[in-house]
């Protein structure tokens, strides 16, 4: 498998802006207001925006695209990640009305075309299969993704929520490198640090894109107040920045996919991504949220 140190993302990418909750912000549903928000993030040095076809029932991609259509020059400066392959129960057109996965060649090819139209971009920077599908025919899916890359519709491909053997099977069936796996990792979800999953990403050259990097935003509830207060005092970082700094120090530099659209929270996360924690603080935070010392 092809491996690169940055796995499709440059070292200058400090974090990714998640668009899952875009439709929950009425003030940003107007194209001009959202365009201003996007421009401000570009001024912050953040140009990677994470989408999926099911976010907001498709509304998040459409709203983002409407903003880019309002200010077409923005589209030349943004990098868009999007995902497909999940069918929620309320979108299942069969009589069963069941949530299911569709990592199928034709379905993903059509999803890519829909995303290009919705997002108003000429190319999807990174396209991900949203969930591993037990029924996926890897060779057929690989051909569809290769065709999308050859046609210039997609720059690079990856996966989301895949386990090592699941992404390795897809990788064996395609000549394209898988550049990333978007999966959960944070102080609130540390199992991958101890079960070999982090090392599997490193060995196979996949960059970890960490969703829910703030662990649901409740670090203060998970960590004893005296530990959090001391870490704040010694580092000068707030709760958000501490969580991001902690994540960034894991080998391979996992990229946080920040779900907040609040500029203050984004600036705190950016500060954290540019900070280094002393090793004792990193471990003290780890043992505090796990409620046990390392062996």
DSSP summary character for residue 30: S
Pairing of the two strands 207-211 and 178-184? parallel
For residue 2, give the 3-state DSSP assignment: coil
- Half-sphere exposure for 61 (CA within 13 Å, toward CB): 24
Q: Which is the catalytic residue, given 55, 101, 107, 283?
A: 55
Active site residue 55: yes
Mind giving me the DSSP string for 191-204? GGGTSSHHHHHHHH
Burial (CB < 10 A; 0-12, 13-18, 19+), residue 25, is middle
User: From the CB of residue 217, how many other CB atoms can be counted at a distance below 10 Å?
Assistant: 16
For residue 217, give the 3-state DSSP assignment: helix
Residues with a catalytic annotation lie at 55
């Amino acid at each position: 498998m092809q491996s690169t140190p940055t796995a499709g993302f440059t070292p200058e990418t400090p974090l990714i802006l998640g668009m899952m909750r875009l439709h929950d912000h009425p003030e940003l549903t107007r194209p001009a207001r959202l365009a201003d928000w996007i421009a401000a993030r570009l001024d912050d040095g953040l140009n990677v925006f994470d989408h999926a076809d099911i976010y907001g029932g498709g509304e998040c991609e459409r709203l983002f695209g409407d903003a880019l259509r309002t200010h077409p020059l923005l589209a030349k400066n943004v990098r868009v990640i999007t995902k497909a392959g999940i069918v929620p129960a309320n979108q299942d057109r069969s009589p069963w009305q069941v949530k299911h996965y569709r990592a199928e060649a034709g379905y993903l090819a059509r999803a890519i075309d829909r995303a290009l139209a919705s997002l108003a971009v000429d190319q999807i920077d990174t396209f991900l299969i949203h969930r591993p599908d037990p029924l996926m025919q890897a060779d057929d899916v690989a051909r569809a993704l290769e065709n999308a890359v050859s046609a210039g519709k997609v720059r690079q491909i990856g996966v989301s929520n895949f386990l090592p053997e699941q992404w390795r099977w897809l990788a064996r069936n395609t000549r394209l490198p898988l550049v990333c796996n978007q999966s959960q990792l944070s102080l609130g979800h540390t199992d991958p640090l101890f079960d070999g999953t982090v090392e599997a990403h490193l060995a196979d050259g996949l960059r970890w894109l960490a969703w829910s990097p703030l662990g649901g935003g409740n670090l203060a509830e998970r960590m004893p107040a005296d530990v959090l207060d001391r870490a704040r005092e010694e580092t000068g970082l707030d709760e958000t920045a501490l969580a991001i700094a902690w994540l960034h120090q894991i080998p391979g530099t996992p990229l946080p996919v920040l779900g907040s659209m609040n500029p203050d929270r984004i600036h705190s996360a950016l500060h954290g991504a540019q900070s280094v924690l002393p090793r004792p603080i990193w471990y003290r935070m780890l043992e505090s949220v796990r409620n046990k010392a390392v062996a």
